[in-house]
Amino acid sequence: MIGWVLKRILGTQNQREVRRLTPLVGEINRHEEALRALSFDELRGKTVAFRDRLAKGESLDQLLPEAFAVVKNCCRRFTEEKRRIRVRGQEILWEMIPFDVQLIGGMVLHSGRIAEMATGEGKTLVATLPTYLNALSAKGVHIVTVNDYLAARDADWMGEVYRELGLTVGCLQHGQTQAERRAQYACDITYGTSSEFGFDYLRDNGMATTPEDQVQRGHFYSIIDEVDSILIDEARTPLIISGPVTVSTHQFDKYKSIIEGLVRKQNTLCTDWANQAKERIEKGDLQGAGRLLYKVKLGSPRNKLLLKFQEDPGTRRAVDDAELEMYQDTRRTELYKTKEEMYFSIDERNSEADLSQMGRTFLNPNDPNFFSVPDLITTNHDIDSNAGLSPEEKLKAKAAAQADYEEASQRIHNISQLLRAYCVFEKDVHYVIQENKVVIVDEYTGRLMPGRRWSDGLHQAVEAREGVQIDRETQTLATITIQNYFRLYEKLAGMTGTAETEANEFKDIYRLGVVVIPTNRDCIRKDADDLIFKTRREKLNALIEEIKKRNAAGQPMLVGTASVESSEIISRMLRRENIPHSVLNAKQHQLEAEIVARAGERGAVMIATNMAGRGTDIKLSPGVAELGGLHVVGTERHESRRIDRQLRGRCARQGDPGSSQFFISFEDDLMRNFGDSRKIAGLMTKLGMEENEGLQHPWLNRSVETAQKRVEGRNYQVRKHTLQYDDVMNQQRTVIYAWRSDMLNSTDPRPEVFETVDERIASEVEARAGTDPVDLDGLVHWANSAMPVGLQKEDFQKAGGKEEWAKLLKAKVREAYEVKVKFENPEAVKALERFVVLGAIDRLWQEHLYAMDGLRTSINLRAYGQKDPLIEYKNEAYGMFGELMGRIKEEVVHNLFRSASSLSAFESFLSALPQRAGRGDLPMEAAAQPTEGSMSMQAEGGSTVVEEALAPMRRQGPKLGRNDPCPLDPTKKFKNCCGSTGSKGCLKVGG
């Protein structure tokens, strides 16, 4: 009820907003009519005139109606002259003039909000309106696409309008050199993916050593296409540039065999319980069975017997009941006791692993405490209150306790990562082994992600489990989350077919409002109720029957899957039935775009993971509308309703006919982990479900949606959590990057260097003068060892108080420096001065990032105590940052005078440059998932290995050898499949 009322209010708010913008549409159209009388040259002249008016103080808002009209009129001219445009090697006939709803979409984008416009409404064209307007400012407009291919496509296609009107257009592509990138950013408009933009920012600010190394020129206005996919799905993946760690702390190989023993023990235990549960079921004691099976779930969530029992809704319900019972507050002790009956417990939802006393004793019978975290707080307290210890002894005792604590934490961390590797992660589901390496499978798209690694040691733990070589851990050199990158823009806007369900998050995190734009024509898509099956097998069989039926009638179908694995299963089944189809896995963007564009042809069957072919328009071919248009089948409900809506939205564009339906089963991950099976099983009994037959009812849809909302809520919390931690880092990064950038861009670095020196002197003087008695000896010692000032104690005594000491030092240090640089080449001196500061910032900042990583891990351990980890984290991070700033200053003072050593450091710094500030051959860059610990790219050392690590990530385009496996059907050679001339390649797979 409340929801309904809210919706009414939101709905009307939205309508009000659209209504508010509508009068402007009339104005734009009137201007456009007037423009028709102009010559094309006169139309082009408008750009210059607009820029003049801007310079004279008019605002972009004032120019909007006329500027939009110019774009619209340009489109009209293209359409009338039947202009053909070369887009990625193909000619496309221009035949679009923005509709009124598109003009409204453009205004929403200009106002810095998200325009929700359904698939096929022409968002690509919509973006040209605000882009042209904002590009008039010459500050650069960035348009973000989901992949490199779409960036290039849109720059070619929409670029025609901008270029015609006298603006310049650039496009970022992976592997471009620095000079190329700078040229793209210098354009009025730049297309590219979020990671290309983000990594350029990191390189510009974390690695560039001269202003010429920097490629971006500010963050004025950005429009993000498929904004939900970028800001929500990818928000969990910070961008990381990393290099190998110098010292590795892992002990996985050491603990591997003992953990294997432990896991074996636990499995025996759990299988015993599962068998006992079987007996109980036979005796009709479902409740007892449920309790036993719940224990199995805690101890070994992927136990085969357990999974089998859970196929039965009744048993499932019993397990859920047992779990619910345990989580009641009054039963907490019982839960704790239950956990103590096994060697360790696993929480699959949060993927955490916890040793019990039993487990600790198994691992080290003589000293079970070896595997528990010492209580540092109590220990420190005891030390403090021990009257028998001198202050110095107390310090020593505390340091020893701290060292113990760290060692134990390290040990436990290793063990728990190994347990996760053994019990939560499954080969061929979460990862595959390729060429003796553990390759991650992306949970969202099902793509293989060669070169990416889970962080925090998890990847190494899995390597240990699989017996492949354990690669070195990596260290973060620079990092930013996608969220924080986009917060840099003065104005941000986005467009997508699906933003409404996440409107709150957009508002909270990005302060982006969502406006739903009405479609140009009414949408007549028919969404059928979900079909629910008991098992995956039954579901797939029914699915194949459905495909067969519709295919026989000639209706085209798009089958959406959640993973590459399930795409392949369905493809195999279709092949057996001799149904021609193609499989798209979001690996070959351009090729797949070309193929998916044909999904609306008579008899076409496309199986696609959810990112495959995104952004490509599916048009119906003649005769298909009469068959009901494109039919979309979802083979699994996704964790998020938004992704399902996106899949559905791929059909019935622009008033076309179309329909959609989801096939789901109780064995799907969503249902297994988050479904309220009790309720669903109840419903199913009520509705009367037969074996082997799917059930369909609006009530069931609602239950599924409840499960989805639950996961959405949890994922939102995870993202918010990541952001809260990252905010701390973001503030620090802002300070450091601003300092770095000042240094980098300063034409005369010396005053700034001396400002730093002065601050250092002031704080040292302050500290030495603040003791009682005043530590003048210390000051003299520090001064002479840090700087060649040659001052004696008497000099200070003669000078007076602490103010005079600082003055004296500041004067002396300048004198000394003058002497030092007198005969040097002034330009070289400037470079050296810059280096002194940049080198210190970079070295210590990277160390700091490493320490902050460590802090993140240890804070989580601390959460076991009663403290709020975020507050602890903020406090410690603040302290560490203060120290960092002090140490950077100290290092600047130090290095300023070590000409010999600083020169050699300078040289090695320079020789490392191609690697530090290069392009594709940079250190490693990656995106990470904090939920699983972060992932990052890694390589063993120099840039050649880095090249190799990056190679698979490069978009290769369809440049394949004829004998290579076909990307769309790896069982065939390319020349016999897509690469074959004459036939339709992959479209014929299986036929």
Binding region for ligand ADP (CB under 6 A) = 96-99, 102, 117, 119-125, 617
SS (H, E, C) 918-958: CCCCCCEEEECCCECECEEECCCCCHHHHHHHHHHHCCCCC
Q: Where are the alpha helices (DSSP H) in 89-221?
A: 100-110, 123-135, 148-157, 159-164, 178-186, 194-206
| Least distance CB 615 / ligand ADP (angstroms) | 6
CB under 5 to 8 A by kind: which of ligand ADP, Mg ion, none does 98 bind?
A: ligand ADP
Query: Quick one: 615 or 694, whose CB is closer to Mg ion?
Result: 615
| Under 8 Å between Cβ of 273 and 296 | yes
The number of residues that bind Mg ion (CB under 5 A) is 2
| Least distance CB 225 / Mg ion (angstroms) | 6
| Least distance CB 635 / ligand ADP (angstroms) | 22
Residue 11 burial (C-beta neighbours within 10 Å; 0-12, 13-18, 19+): exposed
CB under 5 to 8 A by kind: which of Mg ion, ligand ADP, none does 147 bind?
A: none
Structure tokens that stand for 596 in this block? 């998916």
| Least distance CB 209 / ligand ADP (angstroms) | 40
CB under 5 to 8 A by kind: which of Mg ion, ligand ADP, none does 468 bind?
A: none
Query: Quick one: 614 or 830, whose CB is closer to Mg ion?
Result: 614
The residue sitting closest to Mg ion, measured at its beta carbon, is 615
CA angle 109, 115, 121 (to 5 degrees): 110
| Under 8 Å between Cβ of 198 and 485 | yes
| Least distance CB 76 / ligand ADP (angstroms) | 10
CB under 5 to 8 A by kind: which of ligand ADP, Mg ion, none does 117 bind?
A: ligand ADP
The alpha carbon of residue 933 and the mean position of all alpha carbons in its chain are separated, in whole angstroms, by 12
| Least distance CB 98 / ligand ADP (angstroms) | 5
CB under 5 to 8 A by kind: which of Mg ion, ligand ADP, none does 629 bind?
A: none
Look at residues 202, 808, 749 and name the one whose alpha carbon lies nearest to residue 482: 202
Upper half-sphere CA count for residue 408 (Cβ side, 13 Å): 18
C-alpha separations of 781 from 757, 811, 816 in Å: 17, 17, 17
Phi/psi at 165 (nearest 5 deg)?
-90, 10
> Binding string, 602-641, against Mg ion, x = CB under 5 A?
-------------x--------------------------
CB under 5 to 8 A by kind: which of ligand ADP, Mg ion, none does 99 bind?
A: ligand ADP
| Under 8 Å between Cβ of 666 and 677 | yes
CB under 5 to 8 A by kind: which of ligand ADP, Mg ion, none does 119 bind?
A: ligand ADP
Query: Quick one: 521 or 874, whose CB is closer to ligand ADP?
Result: 521
Query: Quick one: 107 or 158, whose CB is closer to Mg ion?
Result: 158
Query: Quick one: 461 or 608, whose CB is closer to ligand ADP?
Result: 608
Query: Quick one: 198 or 615, whose CB is closer to Mg ion?
Result: 615
| Least distance CB 102 / ligand ADP (angstroms) | 6
Query: Quick one: 458 or 608, whose CB is closer to ligand ADP?
Result: 608
Look at residues 204, 150, 205 and name the one whose alpha carbon lies nearest to residue 172: 150
CA distance 203 to 215: 9
| Least distance CB 129 / ligand ADP (angstroms) | 11
Element (H, E) at 491: strand 491-496
CA distance 694 to 531: 5
| Least distance CB 763 / Mg ion (angstroms) | 55
| Least distance CB 561 / Mg ion (angstroms) | 21
Query: Quick one: 85 or 335, whose CB is closer to Mg ion?
Result: 85
Q: Which residues in the 87-146 window bind Mg ion by CB under 5 A?
A: 123
Query: Quick one: 117 or 318, whose CB is closer to Mg ion?
Result: 117
Q: Who contacts 711 (Cβ-Cβ below 8 Å, separation ≥6)? A: 639, 640, 670, 674
Q: Give one DSSP letter per residue of 611-630, joined into a string.
A: TTTTT---PPPTTTGGGTSE
CA distance 692 to 533: 7
CB under 5 to 8 A by kind: which of ligand ADP, Mg ion, none does 192 bind?
A: none
Look at residues 545, 530, 548, 555 and name the one whose alpha carbon lies nearest to residue 644: 530
CA distance 411 to 675: 36
Query: Quick one: 99 or 252, whose CB is closer to ligand ADP?
Result: 99
CB under 5 to 8 A by kind: which of ligand ADP, Mg ion, none does 122 bind?
A: ligand ADP
| Least distance CB 123 / Mg ion (angstroms) | 5
Rg for the chain, CA atoms, rounded: 32
The residue sitting closest to ligand ADP, measured at its beta carbon, is 122
| Least distance CB 630 / Mg ion (angstroms) | 17
Query: Quick one: 54 or 85, whose CB is closer to ligand ADP?
Result: 85
Query: Quick one: 127 or 809, whose CB is closer to Mg ion?
Result: 127
CB under 5 to 8 A by kind: which of Mg ion, ligand ADP, none does 120 bind?
A: ligand ADP
The alpha carbon of residue 950 and the mean position of all alpha carbons in its chain are separated, in whole angstroms, by 18
Q: Applying CB under 5 A, does 65 fall inside the site for Mg ion?
A: no
| Under 8 Å between Cβ of 244 and 475 | yes
CB under 5 to 8 A by kind: which of Mg ion, ligand ADP, none does 96 bind?
A: ligand ADP
Q: Report the number of secondary-structure helices (H) and strands (E) in the chain.
A: 37, 26
Query: Quick one: 99 or 343, whose CB is closer to ligand ADP?
Result: 99
CB under 5 to 8 A by kind: which of ligand ADP, Mg ion, none does 97 bind?
A: ligand ADP
Query: Quick one: 120 or 930, whose CB is closer to Mg ion?
Result: 120
Look at residues 983, 986, 988, 982 and name the one whose alpha carbon lies nearest to residue 974: 986
| Least distance CB 107 / ligand ADP (angstroms) | 16
Q: At what angle do helices 60-80 and 100-110 cross, to 10 degrees?
A: 140
CA distance 65 to 60: 10
Upper half-sphere CA count for residue 981 (Cβ side, 13 Å): 1
| Least distance CB 633 / Mg ion (angstroms) | 22
- Which positions touch Mg ion (CB under 5 A)? 123, 615
